[in-house]
């Protein structure tokens, strides 16, 4: 399959290039960057030195890019992907957007949280969280790849929501991410000496991944879900750990909780269940597309606490995009993604 | 005042030595370690090279140590301090224990969580969280210095508990600590390559700081409080950030929440209020005895989220011990603790 | 090819398992550990969860292990591999030892630096630095895989030594390694809080990689070479950067220096030349088998400074072992090693 | 003494504020920043929250600032301090410049390496490396505070240069610094995810601290010294370790080397000698004004290797400035600097 990557110079775009290098069915045809057009990608990402000789192009001639490609992966800031999507609507090319533009069924929710008008409301789109929306992904024209925090959070709570084991209004998700999640542009707050040996929260009560998590859990539980999501920055480059809390409904047993996880995930290659009492860690999934999951039940408070770990750039971005690509193409889902996390 | 430190080779003990060096009213007389007796402390903590020439002694001759000292600071693993406390009961020396042995009013709670019999139940003791128990501390024979996670957690929630602004059964505390909190003994889990670039939770639903937090919040609110406390390890050496969640009681306003914090803490030198919407970070308090506090109100979920940052070895251990010492001696509370956090 | 790994629970052994997972021509048959025999490897290295179901065995029945295997990789502490090598001498199995036992032509040098008698002096062995000893490796019974620091150092200086461009007595190698190079056993010095935010040298003037570097440079230059090698610990998990200094011989030009590098390495897939004035970094080779090389010429001092970066666990250990395996088997040298370094 | 800080928002300026807070003889009167004038310093450095209420002013009215102050500390980029110095020449105020403008006796050297014309060549100035130029500092109008790498390097080599124990043309200094040394402005190269878990060299063969080191060693040895200095970035915030190599002159003994260090430094409070074979580390001096020094002698190569560790923001910048201030005022040299390094 011929693939183009629009916005190849951010961390998610570069991670796509890393992973597509090892994909036997993918051939890169165009990669774009407006600010670095004409430069070799390897001059910006020297890890690619000798491995990827492509030159960054402008995305101005989208018509040609679309015509040359079977799939276009978009890794642009929100608000820009829908312009690309509209421009490609008349072509047979399929689209996987790593940003937020195509993640919401109700574009009013998007507009309320992202503060931009949605200009492609009629797009035929599906939510790209592979384990939960696989059937829709197979045939989709546009896949709105799930976000990083949202993937870790939704996968943690989906079994409980689906089986109606918890009070959906009691959910608190406390999430922690490595700094690559904040992008490649240098800012004061991400300057090395400021973050190193430091830990802090950000965007409390208004992070944009909140409505995306709520949409999926509402969908799974059939109950309108409003929850707290709090992101934190961990002084490391990669990885997300989400700690999710919910009250068990009256009478729910540990066995039912365990059964819900096993029933939903036992056949999922990219989900590794550590079981009740386990402790996933970000390093154990680093560089891979795995989601490691464990749960704990507190009999004193009748809460279930779910721990989920992913690599934010792989399962939280580029890896999941490729997993969706594999599904959309009918390939084995782990094609190009079948390797061991890098440890230590 | 003549001071001895029992168990001076752990991180909390060594931090006591660092801070006491700059205390104008303190003179170290004995420092002890069973495993390193006869060694110079500066051979174990080379940062003390040229600054502290003391030799580690055994604590076997506690009678002499007690007789030589006005204050004994104990930095031993739990279960050992109460033996020292009993041994010193007949002497005028006063005791500040940095461990858990003297933190609980109800020793049955201690025994249930620490799995050792309490052998000094009759001890005349107070809970050493300076801002909340200052009056008791003035006269105490034995001060059970508050724990690190507990200090960050209790100070975050005390205003809300005291003013009855939140549902006391709705509390979730998600806390993150630097690795020095796990002590100085090397273990597989704290081996550098295992933790670096890694993030994980531990002791979910059964960390021993839980009942200590519950004790204080029950005390402050007048309502038996049961809560979730989840600790995590951050790949850094020092610092705790606690993110605490609670449901606001019906009708409670943002103004009432703010007033509760200001009313309790405006006159507290070591508490810095960043106000509603603020973001404390561990680096901004590093090396100091400050607690930085901020709160956020989520109108969508009717929860208040409180962020609190401390240095686990200072306000969470040695600094608070010195603050308590200052109170017990009638000194200005910031004597020896009045310096700027080290940044960056 | 059927492969066994003797000593699979150290970092180098586990990295072999990670890389062999993706090798199309390798099938693991036995993995051993004396201290963890009977345990699943994935219980020790949870990154392997779901990917490697093997159980650790004792290496006591080496006869069977040798009979079952085409290749045995040994990742034991020095002094132990030669016992395994002797035991397997009568079998057709070939051996790649990741330790020091088979690296020296002159076992007296080994004995002087490692302080143990060499018990397998008659072994038919070659030095396993693929780019420089490829022809010997093809046919070798026993390959003494080059060390981590030595690989970075020798590859940096080989072109200069071979072409006699520098004064061989003027060499200073100042090398810096991530902490995984010190092994997986927890020690006080590698305890997380001690090393984090810290930097220090160790084994100045007597690190055991010194004679290994000298052996290769003597071999290449034809001149007995004695040099300074100084290792340092960088507070990170993986990666080596070596900064090597040498005086240019009278009249040597920048062009000659460049030509020496290009002539030796232009056809080497795993060596990436950044040219004169370049800056390799450990992250740009992380997780990969690449060696990134650049050189600088200081006209003021007539020294050449060479910078070389490798991943100590890949090109410095497991990756080079697989590269040697590929050579020994006649496979394409990059089989199983053809992927992009993980960045950031 | 009334003190003003010109350029208070860089890391060196902010470190001055941290240290001056604890100085009993210093009173801050003005702090300046052109880009942040009108802002509270505590809004930029929240560690100062509650401790420093000063507002940043413009330095435009330098006449008033100079008239109000006994000492002006300048922490501006090179090229700017000499303008301030000229403007204050007619006032009795004394100046300590933390930048490079006043470090060179021969301004032609400055101009050659810094590529700007020197506009204050006639300035009555001394080089502010306290241990070596103390007598000059006492009476100086303008003190050109020594640089960070240079302090670590010169103090390491001064005893050898002074006693003529080494070949002055054989010197190689391989230095490693935490990232705060590169300043507070965010840049791509210092963006957290790029540097974390990474190690690299920079400015090989042309770092501007080179001529400053050469100037001092030439001065001490009486022999024109040309050397290699190579800086590296360590993924940590603070600290410098310099590894310096030199050939011992024929016949020089280990005793003579040791005697040179002891003779020069035994009475220096801020220099801690670890002796032959010792291993200083950056964490053991963190936050303090100490220089820890050790040396190793390699009998095989006849080189001496000196290890020196400092905190780049303290002994390498703000602490040394205060030490110079103390000398200039006739105060005890450790006034305001007498505290224990923060460990771990």
pLDDT by 10s per residue, chain C, length 344? 999 999 999 999 999 999 999 999 999 999 999 999 999 999 999 999 999 999 999 999 999 999 999 999 999 999 999 999 999 999 999 999 999 999 999 999 999 999 999 999 999 999 999 999 999 999 999 999 999 999 999 999 999 999 999 999 999 999 999 999 999 999 999 999 999 999 999 999 999 999 999 999 999 999 999 999 999 999 999 999 999 999 999 999 999 999 999 999 999 999 999 999 999 999 999 999 999 999 999 999 999 999 999 999 999 999 999 999 999 999 999 999 999 999 99
- Interface contact B11-C193, CB threshold 8 A: yes
The sign of the torsion formed by the CA atoms of A271, A273, A278, A283 equals: negative
Evaluate whether C25 touches A344 at the Cβ level (below 8 Å): no
User: Is B199 part of the contact surface with chain D (CB cutoff 8 Å)?
Assistant: no
Segment B139-166 mean pLDDT: 98
Residue of A14, A19, A148, A273 marked catalytic: A148
- What chains are in contact with A, requiring at least 3 Cβ pairs below 8 Å? B, C, D
Q: How far apart are CA A156 and CA D131, in angstroms?
A: 60
Q: Running DSSP on this structure, what letter comes out for residue B328? A: H
Chain A residues within 8 A of B307 when measuring between CB atoms: 201, 204
Segment B214-242 mean pLDDT: 98
User: Is B286 part of the contact surface with chain D (CB cutoff 8 Å)?
Assistant: yes
What ipTM does the predicted assembly reach? 0.97
Chain D residues within 8 A of B14 when measuring between CB atoms: 343
pLDDT confidence of residue C252: 98
Q: How far apart are CA C82 and CA C74, in angstroms?
A: 10
- Interface contact A283-B198, CB threshold 8 A: yes
Tokens standing for residue D269: 């409070």
Looking at CA atoms only, how far is residue C228 from chain A in angstroms?
Answer: 30
Evaluate whether C210 touches C126 at the Cβ level (below 8 Å): no
Nearest-CA neighbor of D329 among D146, D101, D123, D93?
A: D93
Between B11, B22, B340, which is nearest D47 by CB?
B340
Q: What is the pLDDT of residues C32-41, one digit of tens each?
A: 999 999 999 9
Residue of D98, D130, D143, D148 marked catalytic: D148
pLDDT confidence of residue B138: 97
Run of H or E residues at C211: helix C209-221
Chain C residues within 8 A of B180 when measuring between CB atoms: 193
User: Is C236 part of the contact surface with chain D (CB cutoff 8 Å)?
Assistant: yes
SS3 D57: strand
Q: How far apart are CA D199 and CA D234, in angstroms?
A: 6
- Interface contact B237-C178, CB threshold 8 A: no
The sign of the torsion formed by the CA atoms of D332, D334, D337, D339 equals: negative
Chain D residues within 8 A of C205 when measuring between CB atoms: 296-298, 300-301, 305
- Interface contact A305-B236, CB threshold 8 A: no
Segment B52-59 mean pLDDT: 97
Q: How far apart are CA D195 and CA B249, in angstroms?
A: 46
Q: Give the model's confidence band at A98: pLDDT under 50 very low, under 70 low, under 90 confident, else very high.
A: very high
Q: What is the pLDDT of residues C73-113, one digit of tens each?
A: 999 999 999 999 999 999 999 999 999 999 999 999 999 99
Edge-to-edge strands, sheet with B71-74: B27-32, B2-6, B71-74, B94-97, B142-145, B125-128
Between C174, C241, C305, which is nearest D243 by CB?
C174
Tokens standing for residue A60: 């101005």
Question: Between the CA of residue B230 and those of A244, A245, A305, B207, what are the distances in Å?
Answer: 11, 10, 9, 7
The full set of domain ranges for chain A reads 2-123, 149-311
pLDDT confidence of residue D244: 98
* Residue D148 bears catalytic tag: yes
Query: What's phi and psi for B205, nearest 5 deg?
Result: 70, 0
SS3 C108: helix
Chain A residues within 8 A of D180 when measuring between CB atoms: 193
Q: What angle do CA B124, B269, B18 make, to 5 degrees?
A: 70
Between D180, D187, D193, which is nearest A237 by CB?
D193
Q: Give the model's confidence band at A176: pLDDT under 50 very low, under 70 low, under 90 confident, else very high.
A: very high
Q: Give the model's confidence band at B1: pLDDT under 50 very low, under 70 low, under 90 confident, else very high.
A: very high
Nearest-CA neighbor of A82 among A41, A110, A123, A54?
A: A123
SS3 C280: coil
Evaluate whether C121 touches C227 at the Cβ level (below 8 Å): no
User: Is A236 part of the contact surface with chain B (CB cutoff 8 Å)?
Assistant: yes
- Interface contact C192-B188, CB threshold 8 A: no
SS3 C294: strand
Which of 3.40.50.720, 1.10.10.10, 3.40.630.30, 1.20.1560.10 would CATH assign to domain C2-123?
A: 3.40.50.720
User: Is B228 part of the contact surface with chain A (CB cutoff 8 Å)?
Assistant: yes
Q: What is the pLDDT of residues B5-29, one digit of tens each?
A: 999 999 999 999 999 999 999 999 9
User: Is A296 part of the contact surface with chain B (CB cutoff 8 Å)?
Assistant: yes
Q: How far apart are CA D70 and CA C265, in angstroms?
A: 62
Tokens standing for residue D130: 């306290």
Q: What is the pLDDT of residues C140-149, one digit of tens each?
A: 999 999 999 9
pLDDT confidence of residue D101: 98
Which residues does residue B230 pair with via DSSP β-bridges, in sequence order?
B174
Nearest-CA neighbor of B270 among B310, B214, B307?
A: B310
Segment B125-139 mean pLDDT: 97
pLDDT confidence of residue B93: 98
* Residue in chain C nearest A284 by alpha carbon: C47
pLDDT in tens, chain D (344 residues): 999 999 999 999 999 999 999 999 999 999 999 999 999 999 999 999 999 999 999 999 999 999 999 999 999 999 999 999 999 999 999 999 999 999 999 999 999 999 999 999 999 999 999 999 999 999 999 999 999 999 999 999 999 999 999 999 999 999 999 999 999 999 999 999 999 999 999 999 999 999 999 999 999 999 999 999 999 999 999 999 999 999 999 999 999 999 999 999 999 999 999 999 999 999 999 999 999 999 999 999 999 999 999 999 999 999 999 999 999 999 999 999 999 999 99
Chain B residues within 8 A of D287 when measuring between CB atoms: 287, 342
Domain D149-312 -> CATH class: alpha beta
Q: What angle do CA A263, A266, A272 make, to 5 degrees?
A: 125
- Interface contact D230-C305, CB threshold 8 A: yes
Query: What's phi and psi for D28, nearest 5 deg?
Result: -75, 130
Nearest-CA neighbor of A98 among A29, A1, A11?
A: A11
Evaluate whether B143 touches B95 at the Cβ level (below 8 Å): yes
* Residue in chain B nearest D314 by alpha carbon: B342
pLDDT confidence of residue B102: 98
Evaluate whether D27 touches D325 at the Cβ level (below 8 Å): no
Number of cross-chain residue pairs from B and C with Cβ atoms under 8 Å apart: 62
Q: Running DSSP on this structure, what letter comes out for residue C301? A: T
* Residue in chain B nearest D11 by alpha carbon: B344
Tokens standing for residue B174: 């998600």
Name residues 138-197 of chain C within 8 A of D (Cβ). Answer: 169, 172, 174, 176, 178, 193-194, 196-197
Q: Could you count the other beta carbons within 10 Å of the beta carbon of residue A200?
A: 22
Q: Give the model's confidence band at B192: pLDDT under 50 very low, under 70 low, under 90 confident, else very high.
A: very high
User: Is D49 part of the contact surface with chain B (CB cutoff 8 Å)?
Assistant: yes
User: Is C14 part of the contact surface with chain A (CB cutoff 8 Å)?
Assistant: yes
Name residues 248-277 of chain C within 8 A of A (Cβ). Answer: 269, 272, 274
Tokens standing for residue C217: 């440079």
- Interface contact D192-A184, CB threshold 8 A: no
Evaluate whether D157 touches D306 at the Cβ level (below 8 Å): yes
Optimal mutation site among C191, C233, C283, C342, interface B, most CBs of chain B within 10 A? C191
Evaluate whether A155 touches A240 at the Cβ level (below 8 Å): no
Would you list the DSSP string of A189-205?
Answer: GGBHHHHTT--EE-STT
pLDDT confidence of residue D161: 98
Q: How far apart are CA D135 and CA D115, in angstroms?
A: 31
Taking domain B149-311, whether its CATH number is 3.20.20.70 is answered by no
The mean pLDDT value of chain A amounts to 98
pLDDT confidence of residue B289: 98
| Global pTM exceeds 0.95 | yes
Segment A160-171 mean pLDDT: 98
Question: Between the CA of residue B82 and those of B240, D90, D115, what are the distances in Å?
Answer: 27, 68, 68
Looking at CA atoms only, how far is residue D335 from chain A in angstroms?
Answer: 28
Query: What's phi and psi for B203, nearest 5 deg?
Result: 50, 40
pLDDT confidence of residue C48: 98
Optimal mutation site among D191, D202, D344, interface A, most CBs of chain A within 10 A? D191
Between B18, B197, B340, which is nearest D342 by CB?
B18
Between D11, D193, D235, which is nearest A180 by CB?
D193
Query: What's phi and psi for D57, nearest 5 deg?
Result: -115, 165
Domains A2-123 and A149-311 belong to one CATH topology: no
Tokens standing for residue C193: 């809080």
Provide, rounded to the nearest whole percent, the portion of chain B with pLDDT above 70: 100
User: Is B332 part of the contact surface with chain A (CB cutoff 8 Å)?
Assistant: no
Segment B91-102 mean pLDDT: 98
Evaluate whether A342 touches C18 at the Cβ level (below 8 Å): yes
- Interface contact D47-B341, CB threshold 8 A: yes
Q: How far apart are CA A321 and CA A23, in angstroms?
A: 13
Query: What's phi and psi for C112, nearest 5 deg?
Result: -70, -35
Number of cross-chain residue pairs from B and D with Cβ atoms under 8 Å apart: 88
Between A49, A284, A340, which is nearest C272 by CB?
A49
pLDDT confidence of residue B109: 98
Q: What is the pLDDT of residues C49-64, one digit of tens each?
A: 999 999 999 999 999 9
Looking at CA atoms only, how far is residue D184 from chain A in angstroms?
Answer: 8
Q: Where does residue D189 rank: exposed (0-12), middle (13-18), buried (19+ CB within 10 A)? A: middle
* Residue in chain D nearest A194 by alpha carbon: D237
User: Is C49 part of the contact surface with chain A (CB cutoff 8 Å)?
Assistant: yes
Q: How far apart are CA A190 and CA A235, in angstroms?
A: 10
Chain A residues within 8 A of B205 when measuring between CB atoms: 296-298, 300-301, 305
SS3 A1: coil
Looking at CA atoms only, how far is residue B38 from chain C in angstroms?
Answer: 19
């Amino acid at each position: 399959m011929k693939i183009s990557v629009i916005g190849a110079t951010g961390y998610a775009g570069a991670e796509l290039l890393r992973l597509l290098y090892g994909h036997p069915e993918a051939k890169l045809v165009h990669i774009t960057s407006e600010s670095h057009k004409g430069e070799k990608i390897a001059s910006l990402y020297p890890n690619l030195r000798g491995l990827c000789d492509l030159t960054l192009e402008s995305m101005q001639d989208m018509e040609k890019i679309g015509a040359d490609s079977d799939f276009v992966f978009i890794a642009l800031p929100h608000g820009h992907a829908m312009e690309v999507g509209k421009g490609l609507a008349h072509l047979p090319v399929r689209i996987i957007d790593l940003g937020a533009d195509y993640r919401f069924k109700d574009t009013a929710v998007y507009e309320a949280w992202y503060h931009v008008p949605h200009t492609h409301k009629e797009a035929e789109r599906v939510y790209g969280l592979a384990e939960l929306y696989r059937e829709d992904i197979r045939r989709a024209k546009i896949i709105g790849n799930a976000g990083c925090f949202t993937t870790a959070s939704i996968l943690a709570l989906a079994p409980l929501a689906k089986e109606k084991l918890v009070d959906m209004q009691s959910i608190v998700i406390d999430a922690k991410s490595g700094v690559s999640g904040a992008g490649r542009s240098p800012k004061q707050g991400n300057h090395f000496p400021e973050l190193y040996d430091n830990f802090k929260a950000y965007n409390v009560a208004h992070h944009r991944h909140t409505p995306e998590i709520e949409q999926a859990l509402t969908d799974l539980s059939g109950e309108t879900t409003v929850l707290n999501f709090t992101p934190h920055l961990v002084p490391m480059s990669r990885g997300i750990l989400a700690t999710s809390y919910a009250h068990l409904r009256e009478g729910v047993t540990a066995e039912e909780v365990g059964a819900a996880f096993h029933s939903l995930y036992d056949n999922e290659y990219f989900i590794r269940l550590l079981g009740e009492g386990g402790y996933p860690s970000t390093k154990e999934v680093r560089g891979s597309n795995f989601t490691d999951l464990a749960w704990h039940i507190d009999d004193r408070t009748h809460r279930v606490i779910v721990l989920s770990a992913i690599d934010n750039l792989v399962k939280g971005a580029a890896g999941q995009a490729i997993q969706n690509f594999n599904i959309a193409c009918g390939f084995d889902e782990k094609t190009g993604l079948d390797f061991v996390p890098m440890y230590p």
